[in-house]
Amino acid sequence: MRVKSLAFAVFVLLIALGACSETTPSPTPSPSATVALPTSTPVVSTPTPTTTPVPPTPTPLPSPTPTPVVDPDTLPLLNEEQVTVPQDWLIFTSPTNGFQLSYPPEWLAMDLTQDDWQTILNNVTDASLRNLLTEQVQALIKSNTLAFLTYPLSESGEQRLPFASNLNILRTSVPQETSQTLLVQAIIQNLKNMSGLRLESMNRGKVGEYPAVAILYSYPIRSEDEKIYHVVGWQVYLRTQPEEVYVLTFTTLADVLPERIKDFARMANSFHLVRENGQGK
C-alpha cells in the first residue's frame, strides 16, 4: 500500500457517508472493500457410520492478542480544555471554504482551491519527498480536498521511503436527519471494510461547539527494500451543521506519533468556521 493511497480511501468513505440516513438498513461498504458473498450450502452424501473411535479434537491454544501499533496512553485528545495552542503558531484561513485553524510555524499550509500550492511545495528541499507530496496533492485535488498541511521534512529516516506527517481537510454532506450514532456506525463500518486497515481506538466529544468523532487507525506500508512501516491515521469528523461534516485526516508514522500527537490535537481543536468578515461562527 503506497503512502498516497489513504487519500482515495478517505474519498471512498465520504461517498458512503453522504448516502447514510436513518432509513438506511446498513452502511454502504466502500467499493474497494472485499465483501464476502454468501455461498450456497454444498450438497454432500451422508457418511456411513463406523465403529472406529474418532480421536478427541485437541483444544486449540488461544492465539496471542495482537500488540497495538499505538500506545493507548498516548492518544490525541478531543477535550478542548486540555489543549492549548502555542503563541508562535500560525493561522491558516480558507476564505473560499469558510474555515480556520492554527498550525505549527514549521509546517506548510496549502489551500487546494487556490493555484499556489505547487509554489508552496517548492519549499520542500528533499526532491523525493517533494515529488511524493506533489503526487499526493494532485490526487487530493481530484477528490475535492479543501486543504493540505504538511511537515516539510522526511521523518522515516529511510531514503527509499520519504514520508512527512500531514493533514488534509475535506467536507461532505450527510442527510440532515442522520443521527450522530448512525453516522459513527457508518464511519466505523466503512473503515473496517478497508483492506489492511486496523482500528486502534475511537472516542467522541466536541471541538468547540461541534459534535466530533475521532478514530485512530493504522496500516502497513512496504518500502522498496521490503522494510515494513506502520502508518497511523487520526481522523476527526466535525459535524459543523446537521447536514455538513468536515473530516480532518492526520497521517504520520507510528514511530513519530508520540512527537506529533499533541500538535495534532491542537490543530484539530483550533478548527472553526469563519464568516466572510473573518469572524468565528
For 198-230, what is each residue's pLDDT tens digit?
Answer: 998 888 888 888 999 999 999 998 877 788 889
Say what the pLDDT of residue 272 is.
94
**What pTM was computed for the model?**
0.75
**How far is Cα 211 from Cα 205, in angstroms, rounded to an integer?**
6
Q: Establish if 32 belongs to a structural domain.
A: no
- Rounded Cα–Cα distance for residues 165 and 150 (Å): 6
pLDDT band at 69 (very low <50, low <70, confident <90, very high): low
Tell me, yes or no, whether 24 lies in a domain: no
Q: Which CATH number do you get for residue 135?
A: 3.40.1000.10
Q: Give me 94's grid cell.
A: 480558507
Asked whether residue 23 is domain-assigned, the answer is no
Does residue 131 sit within a domain? yes
Structure letter (DSSP) for residue 81: G
pLDDT greater at residue 91 or residue 38: 91
Which amino acid, residue 142?
A: K
CA distance 136 to 59: 49
Structural domain count of the chain: 1
Mean pLDDT of 133-139: 93
Residue 47 belongs to some domain of the structure: no
Does residue 40 have a pLDDT over 50? no
Residue-range definition of the domain harbouring residue 238: 5-17+72-273
In a domain, 234, yes or no: yes
Q: What is the pLDDT of residue 25?
A: 29
Res 39 pLDDT > 70: no
What letter would DSSP give residue 154? -
* Residue 78: inside a domain: yes
Pinpoint the alpha helices (H) of the chain. Answer: 5-18, 117-121, 127-142, 180-192, 257-270
Asked if residue 63 is part of any domain, the answer here is: no
